[in-house]
């Protein structure tokens, strides 16, 4: 395992998740969140919990890249990256379906989270594959 590429891939995955989460939640989903304000913490309180959000991004990025590096990087193809990202996203999005069953989220929130999460997972898979390329064979 190449530590330098591993760290760069973790950083790239973190940045990709951060940016896409901003676009998904801070732009696309914002009207839906405003319409369901009673479900969420007040904005100031959310801001006070941003450290938890960054910790989750780091945990997700690190786990995602480590699994890629140990199990899939040697194949190093874009198709593999898409399939890997899709599988990881579907695994994560199962939690979204559980949340719909136990919390008063609207179906609109759930399907948008699900679709965005799957697309995000595929993108993170591609970015990870691009940054953590397999070592050149001699």
> What are the structure tokens assigned to 77, written together?
């193809």
Mean pLDDT across 92-103: 97
In this predicted structure, the answer to whether residue 137 has a pLDDT above a threshold of 60 is no
Whole-number average pLDDT of the chain: 95
Comparing 55-59, 74-78, 94-98, 133-137, which segment has the lowest mean pLDDT? 133-137
In this predicted structure, the answer to whether residue 136 has a pLDDT above a threshold of 70 is no
Could you tell me how far CA 112 lies from the centroid of its own chain? 14
More confident residue, 111 or 137: 111
Q: Where are the domains of the chain?
A: 3-131
Burial 13-47 (b: 16+ CB within 10 A, else e): bbebbeebbeebeeeebeeeeeeeeeeeeeeeeee
**Predicted pLDDT at 76:** 77
Q: 122 and 85 in contact (C-beta within 8 Å)?
A: yes
Alpha-carbon span 33 to 39, nearest angstrom: 8
Query: pLDDT for 25-50, tens place per residue?
Result: 999 999 999 999 999 999 999 999 99
Q: What is the pTM of this model?
A: 0.94
Confidence of residue 135 (pLDDT cuts 50, 70, 90): low
């Amino acid at each position: 395992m190449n530590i330098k590429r591993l760290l760069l891939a973790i950083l790239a995955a973190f940045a990709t998740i951060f940016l896409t989460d901003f676009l998904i939640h801070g732009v696309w989903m914002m009207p839906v969140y405003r319409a369901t304000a009673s479900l969420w913490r007040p904005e100031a309180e959310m801001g006070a919990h941003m450290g938890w959000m960054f910790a989750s991004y780091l945990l997700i990025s690190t786990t995602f890249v480590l699994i890629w590096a140990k199990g899939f990087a040697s194949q190093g193809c874009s198709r593999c990256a898409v399939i890997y990202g899709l599988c990881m996203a579907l695994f994560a999005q199962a939690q979204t379906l559980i949340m719909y069953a136990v919390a008063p989220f609207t179906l609109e929130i759930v399907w948008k989270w699900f679709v965005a999460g799957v697309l995000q997972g595929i993108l993170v898979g591609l970015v990870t594959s691009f940054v953590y390329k397999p070592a050149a064979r001699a």
